[in-house]
Structure 1
Amino acid sequence: MNYAKPPIRRARFAPWLLTIAAATPFLATPAAARGITAGSLVENTATATFQQGASTTTVTSNTVVVRIDELLDVSVASLDGANVPITASGAVLRFQVENTGNGPEAFNLLVDAALAGDDFDPAVVAIVWDSNNNGIYEPGTDLLITPGGATPVMAPDALGTVFVVLEWTTPPADGDLAQVRLTATAATGSGPAGTVFAGEGEGGGDAVVGAQNATGNALGTVFSQTATVTLSKSATIADPFGGTEAVPGAVVTYQLTAAVNGSAPVSDLVVSDVIPTGTSYVAASLRLDGASLTDAAGDDAGTASPAGIAVDLGTVAAGASHVVTFQVAID
């Protein structure tokens, strides 16, 4: 569905306009739509009273009708009170678009995620209009807007939420920052304040560009949350003679330490190892963080067999680590 107004036919710049809209000062920055709604008719008739002898007579002028022109303006603001984390799953920035003109208007939306001076440039996955105005990004429910496409027509003073969905193509360093700019521009047109689009206003009047040039923008910022996993392995030996020699009959205890580095958690982390050739797994020796695990599958996080061991750590928080130990006997 196309919500934008018909294509612009002609424009001219008029610093002084003999209309109600042009009489509004362009020096002040409006925070919201002001005054009477575009397309309204302002009518008035003058009277004159005079006296001839003992008689008082009143005459009226013709009625003058002025159609209120449409003032085009918009403001954009970030709705995120702080930097938003972006992970391997992506991120969503929230922006508020407000029609600060005095007539119904749609606004074309563009996103720039390749700004100079930040640490990385995320990819823009989608620009989405919050169709049910609940402030929650709902794929399949909210309206997808193509870059440069228009929002639905917004009434004067109406507020709308725009979601910018992002992802990274190459994982940035943990904690890197990226800025993203959303720009909204009146679909009827923009330009220097006072620019007139003849006949393009509500009700057939003119449309006049307001103090903010009928365009607005705001920045949102994401910071990367990445994670890496390090896995270290060590072994200690206890031989049958009370020493530490790797002789037949000695028991080797392997220790595997998995650590999550960075500021993001990881999921489905599984630590596994094979039983070395020339050794045999010591039954019931598998442990996680010092707690015994059974060798059977399905009853806890660990499994063990003559072929090897595996421990499912699941989701592990950033900065956390876990230690898996098991034993083998040298044949």
Structure 2
Amino acid sequence: MNKLLTMVAGLGIVLNSGLALAGGTSAGTPIQNTATVTYSTTSGGSTRSVTATSNEIIVQELILSTLTSLDSGDVAVTTPETEAEMKFRLTNNGNGNEAFILNTSQPTSGDDFDATLTNIYIDDGDGVLNTSLDSVYDANNPPVIAPDDDIVFWVTGNIPGGLADGDEAAILLSALSKTFADANQNNPTIGAVVSGGDSGTEAISGENLEQISNKFIVSDLNVQITKTSSINDGLGSGTGTQPIPGAEVDYTITVSVTGSGTAYGVEIVDPLPSQLRLKDYTDPSGGIIMVNGNPTTGSASNSDGVEYNVTTNEITVNVGDIDAGDPDTVITFTSIIQ
């Protein structure tokens, strides 16, 4: 017990100075240290030595974690909306394998409405929420996270109808070490110690309860995109619209912004299938892509916000900010069936 108290005291000094270690020596690792003194009984005489009994310290588990929002800011929602989502990452910065109890809540005041929180989904590794593939988080059996590893997850909720533009719902999220939860310590403070740590050690909290928040914010901003096509087979007979090799396919992409507010950083990406190529893409100018009636090139320099990537066969158009009610953005280009 004296060794543990000494270790906790030492940790207290480091923690109070702003511990930023990640992982570190694994919990349960023995550290052995032996000191030796040498001497002689007469000046210039033979040397004798005495070795102290080996001192062993078992590294205890340090609980450290970080919650990070993976959304760029408040999450825009419509009213009503089903399964609106927030994305987070939980990182285990401690030195032991640890599971964490995730808890969501909403404040009783200070915002405009409550969402009906539905589930927490653990990402399957592709970074995209798919409720049929991603597993539902189970607080009774939370995933164990290795030191310096993390999980990505989503918090989902339903947004009620009848809300006003700009209404907000704050969502609070906390991550509690399961080791501390099992010891009925649901709000640990720095330096708190419980049994049941990794590899038979004590668990020492290197932090207060880890918490983060984000907001659902109602926006009646509505961005829509449509894509239409027409074909010219170049044969000059029949309908002239047969989709045959060598035929030209003219595409029109229309982006409209309605409601109120501004759509920021609007970017249109169109990955063409392998059976199509942008017309004249081998030209140094990169082929012609019309944006709102103005000819632009799909050159790799992207100086006009338009790029055609020959390797990925992908067209990207950066439009910038669009205010609700602005004229539609219309993009047209011609491709060739290979």
TM-score (norm 1): 0.59
Give, as a single letter, the amino acid of the residue that structure 1 aligns with 2:31: V
Deviation of the 1:34 alpha carbon: 5.5
Match of 2:164 among 173, 181, 194: 173
Q: Secondary structure at the match of 2:114?
A: coil
Match of 2:191 among 181, 190, 194: 194
In structure 2, relative to structure 1, the CA distance for the partners of 1:141 and 1:45 (3 Å cut) is same
Identity of aligned residues (%): 30
> What is the rounded CA distance, in whole Å, between the counterparts of 1:61 and 1:142 in structure 2?
56
Who is 2:202 aligned against?
206
Deviation of the 1:167 alpha carbon: 1.4
In structure 2, relative to structure 1, the CA distance for the partners of 1:19 and 1:162 (3 Å cut) is farther
CA contact (8 A) 2:82 2:157 kept: no
> What is the rounded CA distance, in whole Å, between the counterparts of 2:118 and 2:2 in structure 1?
42
Deviation of the 1:154 alpha carbon: 1.1
Match of 1:124 among 117, 120, 123: 117
Q: Deviations over 1:246-285 (max 9, x none)?
A: xxxxxxxxxxxxxx75579xxxxxxxxxxxxxxxxxxxxx
> What is the rounded CA distance, in whole Å, between the counterparts of 2:92 and 2:2 in structure 1?
23
Question: Between Structure 1 and Structure 2, whose CA radius of gyration is higher?
Answer: 1
TM-score (norm 2): 0.58
Who is 2:94 aligned against?
101
Give yes or no for the alignment of 1:56 onto 2:52. no
Q: Secondary structure at the match of 1:162?
A: strand
Deviation of the 1:320 alpha carbon: 9.0
Give, as a single letter, the amino acid of the residue that structure 1 aligns with 2:90: V
In structure 2, relative to structure 1, the CA distance for the partners of 1:19 and 1:101 (3 Å cut) is farther
Number of aligned positions between the proteins: 221
Deviation of the 1:181 alpha carbon: 1.1
CA contact (8 A) 1:39 1:205 kept: yes
CA contact (8 A) 1:39 1:67 kept: yes
Looking at secondary structure, tell me which structure has more helix per residue: 2
CA contact (8 A) 1:103 1:202 kept: yes
In structure 2, relative to structure 1, the CA distance for the partners of 1:114 and 1:15 (3 Å cut) is farther
Deviation of the 1:168 alpha carbon: 1.4
CA contact (8 A) 2:24 2:94 kept: no
Match of 1:73 among 64, 86, 90: 64
In structure 2, relative to structure 1, the CA distance for the partners of 1:227 and 1:61 (3 Å cut) is closer
Give, as a single letter, the amino acid of the residue that structure 2 aligns with 1:111: T
The residue correspondences of 1:1-331 to structure 2 (distance < 5 A) are 17-24=4-11, 25=13, 26-33=15-22, 35-53=24-42, 54-87=45-78, 88-132=81-125, 134-146=126-138, 148-149=139-140, 151-189=142-180, 190=185, 191-198=188-195, 200-210=196-206, 212-213=207-208, 215-226=209-220, 261=259, 319=325
> What is the rounded CA distance, in whole Å, between the counterparts of 1:21 and 1:158 in structure 2?
25
Structure 1 gap ranges (5+): 1-13, 229-259, 265-316, 322-331
CA contact (8 A) 2:22 2:148 kept: yes
Higher normalized contact order (CA 8 Å, seq sep 6+, divided by chain length): 1
CA contact (8 A) 2:170 2:214 kept: yes
CA contact (8 A) 2:40 2:47 kept: yes
Q: Secondary structure at the match of 2:199?
A: helix
> What is the rounded CA distance, in whole Å, between the counterparts of 1:115 and 1:157 in structure 2?
35
